[in-house]
């Protein structure tokens, strides 16, 4: 088992990815292949950056890039709510997961400085 599997931020990011893959399946065709795909790609990029940060000597810049991915994810989720592709309940649930990842990345970055 790889060490990154043990990181709480990796687990939280992976859980977020699974949630996003599940709820993008229900989008209308117009949004599934545009906003939905971008959302999945940004979340995959986030997980990749968490892995890279964990294995890098200088972590802070990579963690900052991961935090930027989180903000893009947040923006896309908000747009999906406004486009009525996700319910308010789903929006709140997914935002809690995004916030959890964001807080962990912030704490990790602060510990590196």
What the chain holds in terms of domains, given with CATH numbers, is: 3-112 (1.20.1440.60)
Express each pLDDT in 41-97 by its tens digit. Answer: 999 999 999 999 998 999 999 999 999 999 999 999 999 999 999 999 999 999 999
Which pTM does this prediction carry?
A: 0.91
Express each pLDDT in 15-24 by its tens digit. Answer: 999 999 998 9
Number of C-beta neighbours around residue 49 at 10 A: 22
Residue 86 to residues 2, 19, 89, 90, 95, Cα–Cα distance (Å): 34, 12, 8, 6, 12
| Two structure tokens written together for 95 | 């935002």
Residues 55 and 4 sit within 8 Å (Cβ to Cβ)? yes
Reported as type and span, the H/E element at residue 15 is helix 8-24
């Amino acid at each position: 088992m790889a060490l990154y599997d043990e990181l709480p931020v990796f687990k939280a990011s992976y859980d977020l990815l699974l949630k996003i893959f599940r709820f993008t399946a229900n989008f209308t065709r117009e949004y599934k292949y545009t906003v939905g795909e971008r959302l999945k790609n940004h979340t995959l990029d986030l997980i990749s950056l968490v892995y890279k940060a964990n294995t890098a000597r200088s972590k802070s810049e990579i963690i900052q890039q991961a935090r930027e991915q989180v903000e893009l994810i947040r923006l896309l989720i908000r747009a999906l709510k406004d486009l009525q592709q996700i319910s308010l309940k789903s929006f709140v649930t997914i935002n809690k997961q995004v916030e959890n990842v964001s807080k962990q990345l912030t704490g990790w970055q602060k510990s590196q400085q």
